[in-house]
């Protein structure tokens, strides 16, 4: 911990710092208001960011669970440095934590303690699990989370049956669409129609749908047309390092959407008329 209360991790020559990605709750097509943040960790070598893949490649195999645990806990431990009360927090652990169920359970207990240490309301914390948890231990991990009273989010949600079965097992309140899948499908109207029907089904079951990595006005338009509840991406607001003042004012969606050009119209029987990007 430094002199201003920021917690960082040290691994060899690397310093691990917390980065927060703002998440906004959509209110119609006009605006989106602050909902929370997703906490991630950036490795620094000296004063410069170090690529994630290169950092992982430089981590000793025996150290990977410890480093992954540290990367998962740091955003929670720096929560107070957000400086904004009432923000939800989306947290997760990377795959090395789940190599042994005992390690995963210990990390969950450490997260529960971190929540208590920073005096955050537990209902504001969403523990996300996705493809980093293998099928053979997914059910036991879901049970451990429920036992500890942690709210859950399902990451990497796609259209394959594995995602649907995981949805039933975990019972998450937030479902995060797989970001690379969304980027691929965003320009394909037929695929977007399919995803829209899936989003509607999730919402009928009382779940909120999160789309991340929104970088263009066309992607934002697709996310809004699909009916996503929660939005994240550099188009809406840039990520910020813990300790840096974060702008969590509402986002003017209407102004951002006005930058989306070359659209065609199609009719969705569930939601009415839509705008969709036209591929050229």
The mean of the pLDDT values for the chain is 89
The per-residue pLDDT for 33 is 97
23 vs 161: which has the higher pLDDT: 23
- Report whether pLDDT(179) > 90: no
- Report whether pLDDT(205) > 50: yes
Give the global pTM.
Answer: 0.88
The per-residue pLDDT for 259 is 65
Q: pLDDT digit string (tens) for 3-29?
A: 457 899 999 999 999 999 999 999 999
Q: pLDDT digit string (tens) for 238-263?
A: 999 998 988 889 999 999 998 655 44
* Helix/strand/coil (H/E/C) assignment for every residue in 111-127: HHHHHHHCCCCHHHEEE
User: What domains does the chain contain, in order, with CATH numbers?
Assistant: 9-277 (3.20.20.450)
pLDDT confidence bin for 144, thresholds 50/70/90: very high
Check: CB of residue 15 under 8 Å from CB of residue 41: no
Which helix or strand (DSSP H or E) is residue 67 part of? helix 64-77
pLDDT confidence bin for 272, thresholds 50/70/90: very low
Report in angstroms the alpha-carbon separations of 18 from 60, 63, 130, 231.
22, 20, 21, 20
Q: pLDDT digit string (tens) for 39-80?
A: 999 999 999 999 999 999 999 999 999 999 999 999 999 999
Least confident of 159-163, 213-217, 253-257: 159-163
The per-residue pLDDT for 181 is 87
pLDDT confidence bin for 279, thresholds 50/70/90: very low
- Report whether pLDDT(275) > 50: no
- Report whether pLDDT(182) > 60: yes
- Report whether pLDDT(128) > 90: yes
- Report whether pLDDT(163) > 80: yes
Q: pLDDT digit string (tens) for 75-96?
A: 999 999 998 889 999 999 999 9
In sign, the C-alpha dihedral spanning 66, 152, 129, 229 is negative
The secondary structure of 142-181 as a DSSP string is HHHHHHTT-EEEEEEE-SSHHHHHHHHHH--SEEEE-HHH
- Report whether pLDDT(31) > 60: yes
The per-residue pLDDT for 187 is 86
DSSP assigned state of 111: H
The per-residue pLDDT for 5 is 76
- For the chain, give the percent of residues with pLDDT over 70: 90
| Region 96-120 average pLDDT | 96
The per-residue pLDDT for 164 is 85
Contacts of 78 (CB under 8 A, 6+ apart): 6, 7, 18, 39, 242, 243
The per-residue pLDDT for 263 is 43
d(CA 191, CA 185) in angstroms, rounded, equals 6
| Region 110-139 average pLDDT | 94
């Amino acid at each position: 911990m430094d002199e201003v209360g920021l917690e960082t991790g040290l691994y060899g020559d690397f310093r691990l710092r917390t980065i927060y990605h703002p998440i906004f709750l959509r209110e119609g097509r006009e605006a989106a208001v602050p909902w929370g943040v997703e906490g991630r960790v950036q490795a620094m070598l000296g004063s410069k960011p170090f690529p994630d893949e290169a950092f992982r490649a430089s981590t000793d195999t025996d150290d990977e669970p410890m480093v992954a645990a540290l990367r998962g806990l740091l955003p929670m431990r720096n929560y107070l440095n957000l400086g904004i009360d009432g923000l939800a927090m989306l947290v997760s652990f990377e795959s090395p934590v789940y190599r042994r169920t005992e390690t995963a359970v210990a990390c969950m207990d450490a997260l529960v303690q971190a929540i208590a240490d920073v005096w955050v309301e537990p209902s504001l914390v969403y523990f996300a699990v996705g493809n980093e948890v293998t099928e053979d231990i997914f059910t036991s991990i879901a049970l451990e989370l429920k036992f500890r009273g942690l709210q859950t989010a399902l990451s990497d949600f796609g259209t394959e049956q594995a995602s649907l079965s995981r949805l039933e097992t975990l019972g998450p309140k937030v479902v995060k669409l797989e970001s690379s899948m969304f980027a691929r499908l965003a320009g394909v109207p037929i695929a977007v129609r399919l995803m829209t029907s899936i989003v509607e089904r999730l919402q009928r079951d009382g779940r909120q749908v999160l789309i991340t990595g929104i970088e263009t006005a066309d992607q934002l338009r697709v996310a809004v047309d699909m009916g996503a509840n929660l939005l994240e991406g550099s188009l809406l607001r840039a990520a910020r390092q813990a300790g840096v003042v974060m702008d969590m004012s509402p986002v003017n969606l209407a102004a951002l959407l006005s930058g989306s050009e070359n659209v065609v119209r199609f009719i969705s029987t569930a939601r009415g008329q839509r705008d969709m990007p036209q591929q050229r």
